[in-house]
Structure 1
Amino acid sequence: MWSTRTVSARIAVSAGSAVGLMLIAGCGGGGHDMSQMSNNDGGSMSSSSAASQPNDSNSADVMFVQMMYPHHAQAVEMAKMVDSRTANPRILELAASVQSAQGPEMDQMTALLEQWGQPSPDPTSGGNSMDGMNHGGADSGMMSQQQMTELEGLRDNDFDAAWLNMMIEHHTGAIAMAQTELSDGNSADAKKLATSIVAAQQAEIAAMQALLQQN
């Protein structure tokens, strides 16, 4: 598979021949131990009451959510390009899957940051606020502004090939970020989100690779 960093010079794939593919849907410091708090009768809170408290987050959780939000924003931006640049039904279906999965996940990230007392992400910042940044030593897979501009200028088979390769790279970066969260994070909610991202985006990568191999 050739690199998406040179997609404008090396596009050679015709995604129009992709047939029969079934896409799989779907791209602070720690707190106090609440289990020993006493109620008005002097007794300890039940374990179920303690479990209802917000999950403690650490710096890895906060970093993961803060960086994954603009990462998802760029994937959604790429997905929105598809309608006006290709008629390939498999590409259109995959782009719709990216938007339907990652849009709600962005809402979850905003809610987590609010829960942790962190600033909400800026929805107007666009996907390029992470340009060139890494997470946990892994390539984030973010596209540069130049790459996004080049992608906007493509149509039909050229667009399909470039879009698939760029999105594979993008998803690969998201999976690396999610795996870092699973290794280093503490919040159960953030880890659940990371697990969902890994599963969904691995499935979409397999679908995109199959599209490329059929051309």
Structure 2
Amino acid sequence: MLSIFACTSAAAQDYTAADVHFMSGMIYHHAQAVLIAGWAPSHDASPSLRALCERIVVGQGDEIALMQRWLRDRHEEVPDPSATHAMMPGMDPAPMMPGMLTADQLAQLDRARGREFDRLFLTFMIQHHQGAITMVNALFGTGAGEQEKVFRFASDVFADQTTEIARMQKMLAALLFERPGQ
């Protein structure tokens, strides 16, 4: 006969280690996106790129809070990406998730200004978003991601990142084929 405690504890564990790994890794992944999107104003980004970057900062900042809360509610370790120096130019990221920028790429982007910043940002953020999609596919490929909040979040990440990739590809194409002075 199962005790009430055993039933409660079994019901409370409705997630997998893969879910925890995904949520923890995505915190680092999103934190890097928020960091570099935050550079847009100081790196003389175009108005259209600044608007995209503002959406990334707000949206992914909110998602970081959601992931941290999800982990905390389950008494799992909650990563603090700001404490690792993982996303600063010249530093190698501690947990290198798919699509994350290398220290060299971060330094290259940080040196860029204006049109060159726009070009590099779009190129690197497309890579970054493709990495997030890889992470979602890996989660679902393991049979994990069935817990309701993880499933909804991962599905939203997939849809949002796919949409933003298409938008950024159009922005990049327009930038590459624009005549100077237009």
Structure 2 length as normaliser, TM-score?
Answer: 0.81
User: What residue is the counterpart of 1:205 in the other structure?
Assistant: 165
Within 5 Å, which residues of 2 pair with 1:128-147?
A: 128-131=93-96, 133=97, 140-147=98-105
Q: Distance in 2 between matches of 1:87 and 1:105?
A: 24
Query: What are structure 1's unaligned runs of at least 5 residues?
Result: 1-31, 38-52, 134-139
**Structure with the higher helix share, 1 or 2:** 2
TM-aligned CA distance change 1:55 to 1:209, over 3 Å: farther
Matched, 1:180 2:138: yes
TM-aligned CA distance change 1:130 to 1:98, over 3 Å: same
Q: Residue type of the partner of 1:195?
A: S
Give yes or no for contact 2:45–2:113 (8 Å, CA) kept in 1: no
RMSD: 1.9
The SS at the match of 1:193 is: helix
User: What residue is the counterpart of 2:31 in the other structure?
Assistant: 73
Matched, 1:61 2:19: yes
Within 5 Å, which residues of 2 pair with 1:1-215?
A: 56-124=14-82, 125=84, 126-127=86-87, 128-131=93-96, 133=97, 140-183=98-141, 184-185=143-144, 186-214=146-174, 215=177
Q: Distance in 2 between matches of 1:162 and 1:168?
A: 10
Give the length in aligned residue pairs.
Answer: 160
- Structure 1 ranges of 4+ moved more than 3 A: none
**Higher Cα Rg: structure 1 or 2?**
1
Q: Deviations over 1:83-138 (max 9, x none)?
A: 1112411100110111111001101111111122211111422432223x5xxxxx
Structure 1 length as normaliser, TM-score?
Answer: 0.69
The SS at the match of 2:34 is: helix
Give yes or no for contact 2:34–2:57 (8 Å, CA) kept in 1: yes
Query: What are structure 2's unaligned runs of at least 5 residues?
Result: 1-5, 88-92, 178-182
Give yes or no for contact 2:45–2:115 (8 Å, CA) kept in 1: no
Give yes or no for contact 2:45–2:117 (8 Å, CA) kept in 1: no
TM-aligned CA distance change 1:130 to 1:203, over 3 Å: same
User: What residue is the counterpart of 1:23 in the other structure?
Assistant: none
